[in-house]
Every structure is written in structure tokens, then in C-alpha cells.
Amino acid sequence: MKRTVVLLLGLVLLLSIAACGKSKAVTEVENAIEEIGEVTIDSEEVIAKAEKLYNILTDSEKSDVSNRLTLAEAKDKFEQLQNEQKAKLAEEEAAAYKAKLWDLYYATVNGAAMTETAGNLIIAVWRNAIWEERDDKTDKYTRPDGYFVSDFNDALDNLFSDRSFMDSVDAIRINKDVVLSYIKDLQNPPEELKEAYIIARECYDAYITFTDLVINLSGSLQSFSESFEESSMLLYKKYGVLEMYLD
């Protein structure tokens, strides 16, 4: 009788232990979740490992995982950190792109100023040679020997042969290359700045048209003067629109 009681007590104890015990797989999952610790942006791998082990469990085993809520919280926290990082990177990308837009803006403004000066001098030399008007700024081109040249083309040749003027035109050409490198670097704008890129491209096109008038002189005095004024007005109009987007 005593032996039977002992056996029954042992059986009850074994059943109790079996009921309260956890499988090796459950324990492994709990340990994996514990290893997550404080969630950071670098926690992706350890969270993924714990989640993979958890998903392998049966529904009954999943309910035995004591820290399963910790895993869910860790996943939510990691997703939040990821979103914050994406937002920060997007903000930094937009700021860097805007800085490049400003580089383009200032480079074209600088080139336009040089072009304005050169173009106005061309017009003055051209006009004064035709109408034989004296001017301290143009006399050395229109009256190199103390009297007016017989053909305005000679005055323009004198201007374009002048070392100082040649340097200014070379500076415009160099500036064009700089501006071209900037516009190439802006070809892949962030989504929120795509419209700004379109305006920048229009500004670039207007700038090229304006500078080419001086670099590749052609036409009559009237046609050049009209084109020069129209191109200048269009370019500065584009500047205004680009400024609006940048501000």
C-alpha cells in the first residue's frame, strides 16, 4: 500500500512538472528576446533572429513565451527609429540639394553680371563707332589713332582683340563650365524639390542663351541689343522664381 502511494505521488509530481515546464524551443526564443536589450537603429539583426525563432513555434508554444510582448515592443520601437532615421536622412538630403541649388544660383548670377558688363560695352562700342560719338570707355576701340574708324567692324575687332576684354570673355566661358557642372550634379532631385530643379534648369537655359550672345557675337546692332535686353530680362525673371523656391 505504501509503495502504491509513493508511486502515485511520483506520477503526480511528474505530471505537474510536465505541465509547468517549457519546451527547449520556447526557452530558446525567450533567451533570444532577452538578447535584444535596449533597442537601437542597429538592433535589426537581433530582433529578426528572435522573431524568426518565435514564428517557428506552434500557437501553444507561442503562448508560453513569457516575454513575447517585449518582442512586439522591440519591433515597434525599431520601426519608429527607422522612420526617424529616414526622415532625418531625407531632411539632410534636401538641405544638401538646396545648397547645390544656391551654388548654381550664385554662379549664374556671377556669370550674368560679367556678361552684362561685356554686352553693354559691345553695344556702346558698336553704337559709338556707327554714330561717331566720343566716350572715354569706347574711344580706344572706336578712335584708336585719334579719329573714328571707317567701319564699325574695325571697332569691334579692336574690342575683341583687347587683352582685358578677352580675359573677361574667357572668364564668362570658364563660368559656363562651372555652371554646367552644377546643373549636372542636380539631375536627381529629392521628390519635394523636383519643381525647384525644373526652375533651376530653366534658369540655366536662360543663362546659356544670355552668355552665348557675348561669346558668339552675331547680327546687327539692333538685333543684338534687343536680344541682349530680352535675354537679360528673362534670366532675372527666372532668378526671382528660383529664389522663391529656395527661400
- Residue 17 is predicted with a pLDDT of 42
| Domain contains 102 | yes
Q: How far apart are CA 140 and CA 118, in angstroms?
A: 16
201-to-139, 206, 207, 231, 239 alpha-carbon distances in Å: 40, 9, 10, 15, 11
Range of the domain at 188: 92-246
- Residue 83 is predicted with a pLDDT of 97
What are the grid coordinates assigned to 137, written together? 570707355
| Domain contains 15 | no
| Domain contains 241 | yes
* DSSP-assigned letters across all residues of 28-63: HHHHHHHTT-S--TT-HHHHHHHHHHHHHS-HHHHH
pLDDT along the chain (247 residues), means of 10: 44 42 90 96 96 95 94 96 96 95 96 98 98 97 96 97 98 98 96 94 97 97 98 95 87
| Domain contains 50 | no
Kindly give, in sequence order, each residue whose CB lies less than 8 Å from that of residue 229, ignoring residues fewer than 6 positions away: none
- Residue 229 is predicted with a pLDDT of 97
| Domain contains 32 | no
- Residue 75 is predicted with a pLDDT of 96
Say how many domains are in the chain. Answer: 1
| Domain contains 236 | yes
| Cα radius of gyration (the chain) | 39
| Domain contains 96 | yes
The pTM score is 0.77
- Residue 22 is predicted with a pLDDT of 83
- Residue 134 is predicted with a pLDDT of 97
- Residue 19 is predicted with a pLDDT of 41
| Domain contains 195 | yes
